């Protein structure tokens, strides 16, 4: 029975001690999702009566035979007025203060989502406006952070379990707390909170170097014919997973004998399904507003991984929407930036950015923030995260909050050949222009050589004596393509067929 209780508690994100506990996601200063029943759950001694009070509302629950208890408070409108949550039994008591009601956004991805404000290009400027009580974040540390090229220590190994992998609590945005917060997430939250005048909670679960597979439920991978091979055998030897990811995993775990192991190999942040089990599954009982994702660098280094990325992302989103029982759960993601191939294996990045663009058509209720214009030529970590977070916020403001803003730069609709010209039309193409006022750059009819192109009547036109099979834009790992719309938002990398 003890083992059964432990497993059940891990799945709902509670450390079992036999005493009164709240799920790990709960702490003072947190944001609770507005307009949805407010679910609070935890652990107590079996048969204990748990009394929960949120403001003036009181609920009671009896802990079951395994000690689990759960209550639901009535839905509430958004409010920045602080609330007090009190949880008690006959012998124990927990108090949380300064809770607010707003929208919760879960932030996943790898190092560019994790990139902290302290290293962001505009950090010193941002600190002057950091005191924003409407912006809150759950920004836990994770086991193995910043350990590269070496084996995990015993202290790290002890945290490679679902209940200990992420450790942290909620913080209010201020001049001190924002230093370690995801810069992309903070700029998103600040922008939306300022525009909508509601609290925004950011649950940040990104992991440096993490492949997309770790954020997907292993059961969903197993049930998917195209992807079930990803959870077959030891993940460190599984050729269906990114090569670099497995190399890093072997560096961290190869000589350590005390790491937890199952039929799919040792525990690690990069293992398929691991971040899902440790970070996503424990918060699924709590409603959220949407998902933000900045991920792809680790899945963009081999042709096979590039080709499957849109379908793999679809699997992730479908699973989240099913688990949260929110079929229209927004999914807003960042298209990879630009990087040269001299110091980094960015050879497949044009194809990868194009696959990400295709995700807009295969994943409903999604949006893509283009960042190719802010890439660093020799660094996989561009430091200008401000424009990335603000561009993600545009999608949310338009599609989630109903604001009249342009969410994206030009996205290609079609390319038609007529009268010796390829005519390319665009969605979000009002006011086509170049970002720098110079000649239009970035178009090609073979994916190798640039070809002259001009803007005319909200279209781009390429003169060519013969009909090409495709037209390309931004088709270089590091691109200086410069097409933007009236809002100065950049066009996406693309390859489309010419009709």
Instruction: Please check whether residue 437 lies inside any domain of the structure.
Output: yes
Q: Alpha-carbon torsion 244, 246, 252, 255, what sign?
A: negative
* Rg of the chain over all Cα atoms, to the nearest angstrom: 24
Instruction: Please check whether residue 149 lies inside any domain of the structure.
Output: no
**CB atoms near residue 351 (< 10 Å):** 19
3-state secondary structure of 483: strand
Instruction: Please check whether residue 439 lies inside any domain of the structure.
Output: yes
Instruction: Please check whether residue 273 is in contact with residue 227, taking contact to mean a CB–CB distance below 8 angstroms.
Output: no
Instruction: Please check whether residue 469 lies inside any domain of the structure.
Output: yes
Instruction: State the residue for tokens 């992991």.
Output: 207
Helix residue ranges, H only, 290-331: 303-324
91 Cβ contact list (under 8 Å, min separation 6): none
Instruction: Please check whether residue 215 is in contact with residue 114, taking contact to mean a CB–CB distance below 8 angstroms.
Output: no
Per-residue pLDDT 10s for the chain (499 aa) are: 333 333 344 444 443 445 999 999 999 999 999 999 999 999 999 999 999 999 999 999 999 999 999 999 999 999 999 999 999 999 999 999 999 999 999 999 999 999 999 999 999 999 998 999 999 999 999 999 999 889 999 999 999 999 999 999 999 999 999 999 999 999 999 999 999 999 999 999 999 999 999 999 999 999 999 999 999 999 999 999 999 999 999 999 988 889 999 999 999 999 999 999 999 999 999 999 999 999 999 999 999 999 999 999 999 999 999 999 999 999 999 999 999 999 899 999 999 999 999 999 999 999 999 999 999 999 999 999 999 999 999 999 999 999 999 999 999 999 999 999 999 999 999 999 999 999 999 999 999 999 999 999 899 999 999 999 999 999 999 999 999 999 999 999 999 999 9
**CB atoms near residue 304 (< 10 Å):** 9
| Cross-strand pairs, 368 | 333
Instruction: Please check whether residue 316 is in contact with residue 262, taking contact to mean a CB–CB distance below 8 angstroms.
Output: no
Nearest of 264, 260, 236 to residue 248 by alpha carbon: 236
- Report the chain's terminal Cα–Cα distance, integer Å: 65
Instruction: Please check whether residue 484 is in contact with residue 490, taking contact to mean a CB–CB distance below 8 angstroms.
Output: yes
Helix residue ranges, H only, 33-182: 111-114, 123-127, 154-157
**CB atoms near residue 319 (< 10 Å):** 20
How far apart, in whole angstroms, are the C-alpha atoms of residue 144 and residue 398?
A: 38
How distant, in Å, are the alpha carbons of 159, 334, 469 from that of 377? 36, 18, 30
Instruction: Please check whether residue 488 lies inside any domain of the structure.
Output: yes
Instruction: Please check whether residue 169 is in contact with residue 136, taking contact to mean a CB–CB distance below 8 angstroms.
Output: no
Buried b (16+ CB within 10 A) or exposed e, 413-445: eebebeeeebbbebebbeebeebeeeebbbbbb
**CB atoms near residue 134 (< 10 Å):** 22
Both tokens assigned to 102: 């707003």
Both tokens assigned to 15: 């450390």
Both tokens assigned to 18: 């036999």
- β-pairing verdict for 483-484 and 433-434: antiparallel
C-alpha triplet 106, 111, 113: angle, nearest 5° = 35
pLDDT at residue 457 in the model: 87
pTM of the model: 0.94
Number of domains observed in the structure of the chain: 1
Nearest of 162, 98, 106 to residue 139 by alpha carbon: 106
3-state secondary structure of 241: coil
Instruction: Please check whether residue 355 lies inside any domain of the structure.
Output: no
Phi, psi of 187 (to 5 degrees): -65, -35
Counts for the chain of helices (H) and strands (E), in that order:
11, 27
DSSP calls for 320-369: HHHHHT-TT--EEEE------SSSS--TTHHHHHHHHHHHHHHSTTEEEE
309 Cβ contact list (under 8 Å, min separation 6): 212, 296, 299, 300, 352, 355, 356
How distant, in Å, are the alpha carbons of 92, 187, 388 from that of 194? 39, 11, 17
Instruction: Please check whether residue 215 lies inside any domain of the structure.
Output: no
Range of the domain at 487: 411-497
Residue 289 gets which letter from DSSP? S
Instruction: Please check whether residue 423 lies inside any domain of the structure.
Output: yes
3-state secondary structure of 414: strand
Both tokens assigned to 467: 């009909």
């Amino acid at each position: 029975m003890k083992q059964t209780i432990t497993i059940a508690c891990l799945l709902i994100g509670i450390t079992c001690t036999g005493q009164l506990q709240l799920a790990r996601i709960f702490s003072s200063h947190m944001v609770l999702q507005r307009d949805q029943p407010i679910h609070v759950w935890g652990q107590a001694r079996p048969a204990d009566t748990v009394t929960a009070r949120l403001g003036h509302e009181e609920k009671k629950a009896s802990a079951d035979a395994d000690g689990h208890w759960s209550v639901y408070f009535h839905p509430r409108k958004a409010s920045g007025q602080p609330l007090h949550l009190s949880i008690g039994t006959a012998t124990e008591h927990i108090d949380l203060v300064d809770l607010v009601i707003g929208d919760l956004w879960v932030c996943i991805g790898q190092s560019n989502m994790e990139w902290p404000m302290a290293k962001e290009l505009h950090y010193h400027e941002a600190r002057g406006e950091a005191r924003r009580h409407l912006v809150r974040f759950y920004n836990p540390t994770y086991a193995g952070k910043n350990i590269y090229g070496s084996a995990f220590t015993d202290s790290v190994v002890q945290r490679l379990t679902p209940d200990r992998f992420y450790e942290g609590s909620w913080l209010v945005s201020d001049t001190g707390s924002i230093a370690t917060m995801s810069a992309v997430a903070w700029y998103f939250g600040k922008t939306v909170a300022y525009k909508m005048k509601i609290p925004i909670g950011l649950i940040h679960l990104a992991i440096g170097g993490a492949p997309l597979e770790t954020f997907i439920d292993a059961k969903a991978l197993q049930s998917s014919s195209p992807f079930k091979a990803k959870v077959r055998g030891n993940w460190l030897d599984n050729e269906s997973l990114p090569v670099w990811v497995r190399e890093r995993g072997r560096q961290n775990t190869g000589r350590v004998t005390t790491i937890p192991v199952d039929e799919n190999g040792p525990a690690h942040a990069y293992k398929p399904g691991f971040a899902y089990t440790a970070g996503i599954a424990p918060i699924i009982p709590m409603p959220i507003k949407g998902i933000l994702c900045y991920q792809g660098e680790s899945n963009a280094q081999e042709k096979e991984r590039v080709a499957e990325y849109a379908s793999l992302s679809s699997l992730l989103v479908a699973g989240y929407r099913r688990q949260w029982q929110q079929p229209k759960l927004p999914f807003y993601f960042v298209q990879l930036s630009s990087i040269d191939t001299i110091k980094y294996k960015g050879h497949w990045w044009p194809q990868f950015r194009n696959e990400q663009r295709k995700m807009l058509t295969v994943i409903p209720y999604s949006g893509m923030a283009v960042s190719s214009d802010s890439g660093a030529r020799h660094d996989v970590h561009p430091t200008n995260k401000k424009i990335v977070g603000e561009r993600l916020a545009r999608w949310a403001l338009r599609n989630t909050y109903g604001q009249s803003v342009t969410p994206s730069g030009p996205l290609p609709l079609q390319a038609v050949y007529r009268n010796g010209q390829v005519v390319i039309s665009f969605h979000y193409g009002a006011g086509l222009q170049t970002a720098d006022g110079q000649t239009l750059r970035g178009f090609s009819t073979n994916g190798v050589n640039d070809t002259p192109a001009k803007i005319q009547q909200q279209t781009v036109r390429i003169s060519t004596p013969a009909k090409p099979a495709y037209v390309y834009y931004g088709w270089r790992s590091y691109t200086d393509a410069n097409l933007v719309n009236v809002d100065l938002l950049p066009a996406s990398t693309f390859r489309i067929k010419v009709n």
